[in-house]
């Protein structure tokens, strides 16, 4: 089963810091396992978030090239409609979230993929939406 890896995980894994916490080391280990097992999934909006804000052109191009190893999972009209439905469902429950978060939930739900994220908002979403999170 594919695992849709969120920007928060990529952010930890791509840091150049040598002073990583045990939790960050565990995240990197899990991501490496998923990569080795060819289970990583990514969607265009996550790719865009990862690449946004990189100040140096050379660093941007290097990262862009590395990420190309992971092809985008195609998004379809149903994904966008489901994301809007998920947004509305959570909003009725008093839960706010970004449009990209709900698009991630919709894409994962339709493909029965698990979501690998460090964003605690997804725990709230998962209480009301048919999504599974990687523990």
For residues 46 and 104, give the distance between their C-alpha atoms in angstroms, rounded to a whole number.
8
Listed in sequence order, the DSSP H helices in 4-130 are 7-14, 22-36, 44-51, 57-67, 77-92, 99-110, 121-126
- Does the 1-135 domain belong in CATH 3.40.50.1010? yes
Question: For position 53, what pLDDT does the model report?
Answer: 85
The domain spans of the chain are 1-135
| Segment 4-39, tens digit of pLDDT | 999 999 999 998 777 888 999 999 999 999 999 999
**Global confidence as pTM:** 0.94
């Amino acid at each position: 089963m594919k695992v849709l890896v969120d920007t928060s995980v990529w952010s930890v894994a791509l840091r150049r810091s040598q002073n990583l916490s045990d939790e960050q080391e565990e995240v990197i280990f899990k991501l490496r396992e998923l990569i080795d097992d060819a289970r990583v999934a990514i969607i265009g909006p996550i790719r865009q978030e990862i690449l946004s804000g990189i100040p140096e052109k050379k660093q941007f191009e290097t990262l862009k090239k590395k990420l190309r190893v992971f092809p985008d999972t195609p998004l379809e009209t149903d994904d966008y409609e489901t994301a809007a439905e998920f947004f509305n469902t959570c909003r009725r429950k008093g839960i706010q979230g970004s449009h990209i978060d709900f698009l991630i939930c919709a894409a994962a739900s339709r493909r029965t993929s698990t979501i690998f994220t460090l964003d605690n908002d997804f725990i709230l979403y998962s209480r009301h939406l048919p999504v599974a999170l990687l523990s």
